Amino acid sequence: MLKFNTIRILFAAAFCIAMVVHFMDGPVHWWVWMMMLVCLTAILAWGATDISLSFFTPVLNKGVTRDKVVAISFDDGPAEAYTPEILDILQQHQVPAAFFCIGYRAAENPELLKRLHAEGHVIGNHSNSHHFWFDLFTPAKMLYDMRLADAAIENAIGLQPKLFRPPYGVTNPSLAKAIRQGGYTTVGWSIRSLDTVLKKEDELLRRVLYKVNPGDVFLFHDTCRITVQILPELIKTLRDKGFSIVRIDKMLNIPAYA
């Protein structure tokens, strides 16, 4: 599997071999160095942005099961605009879900958080700031940010989240260290809805329902109107296909709170 440590060792070995050749057998062509740099940069960029690779840190992206179960998750809330409507739909259809909350929004909406918890949904940490440059923070600054989100969630529901979903789904060595030090379990997804981008309901439904497999984890955002609009149809279609929608921590068999 493509992992950061493997790549690091491979490229260090390639660099050493090139250096030996350079000094023993004459200069190595500049394009060899350039190709190594380009390949390394491309692999690191791929590893950082594709959460399903678990490249820098272990990530749970889907359940290992043959049972027809799936889990739904929502990021970036709680938002006064759409989270209550999503909760109404989930309650009406008796569907449990996971909400990866941004800490400062949780601090602004403790009542919504209490409602999420009271209605049987699980709450995870999605950083406090969801800062655009979060991935350039030092490990200590990342962990401080994540702990602020923990505190906002704990203030509302009395439980400290253990599940963490990286902002933007981006991982790197600094975040891997912060996750390790904080004792979090990193949770990704296997079906990305692109609900923040797509504008047409049928297009969004087609995209997420195209190929659903046992154990899949759906990523939505409770900050998008289109997500509210497609949710009833999504639930109905999944059930028509024979799938049960379960809570992510139950499906992955992991503790949700510390």
**Closest approach of Cβ 75 to Zn ion, in Å?**
4
Name the phi and psi angles at 126, rounded to 5: -125, 30
Residue 222, interface with Zn ion (CB under 5 A)?
A: no
- 55, 56, 70, 75: residue in contact with Zn ion (rule CB under 5 A): 75
Report the distance separating Cα 202 and Cα 205, nearest Å. 5
Q: Which of 193, 243 has the CB closer to Zn ion?
A: 193
**Active-site residue 88, yes or no?**
no
**Closest approach of Cβ 78 to Zn ion, in Å?**
13
Q: Which of 102, 238 has the CB closer to Zn ion?
A: 102
**Closest approach of Cβ 177 to Zn ion, in Å?**
21
CA dihedral 238, 243, 249, 254 (to 10 degrees): -150
Residue 145, interface with Zn ion (CB under 5 A)?
A: no
Q: Which of 14, 170 has the CB closer to Zn ion?
A: 170
Taking CB under 5 A as the binding criterion, the range among 69-77, 88-96, 181-189, 234-242 that sits at the site for Zn ion is: 69-77
Residue 96 contacts residue 86 (beta carbons within 8 Å) = no
Report the distance separating Cα 250 and Cα 118, nearest Å. 17
**Closest approach of Cβ 165 to Zn ion, in Å?**
7
Angle at 217 between CA 212 and CA 220, to 5 degrees: 100
**Closest approach of Cβ 223 to Zn ion, in Å?**
9
Q: Based on the number of CB atoms within 10 Å of its own CB, is 66 exposed (0-12), middle (13-18) or buried (19 or more)?
A: exposed
Report the distance separating Cα 179 and Cα 168, nearest Å. 15
Taking CB under 5 A as the binding criterion, the range among 51-59, 74-82, 105-113, 194-202 that sits at the site for Zn ion is: 74-82
**Active-site residue 75, yes or no?**
yes
Closest by Cα among 11, 19, 75 to 47: 11
Number of residues lying near Zn ion (CB under 5 A)? 2
Taking CB under 5 A as the binding criterion, the range among 66-74, 76-84, 184-192, 230-238 that sits at the site for Zn ion is: 76-84
Q: Which of 76, 145 has the CB closer to Zn ion?
A: 76
Taking CB under 5 A as the binding criterion, the range among 33-41, 52-60, 67-75, 148-156 that sits at the site for Zn ion is: 67-75
Residue 76, interface with Zn ion (CB under 5 A)?
A: yes
Report the distance separating Cα 114 and Cα 134, nearest Å. 27
Q: Which of 75, 249 has the CB closer to Zn ion?
A: 75
CA dihedral 233, 234, 239, 245 (to 10 degrees): -140
**Closest approach of Cβ 126 to Zn ion, in Å?**
6
Report the distance separating Cα 91 and Cα 113, nearest Å. 15
Q: Based on the number of CB atoms within 10 Å of its own CB, is 92 exposed (0-12), middle (13-18) or buried (19 or more)?
A: exposed
Q: Which of 76, 221, 222, 249 is catalytic?
A: 221
Tell me which residues are annotated as active site.
75, 221
Residue ranges that bind Zn ion, judged by CB under 5 A: 75-76
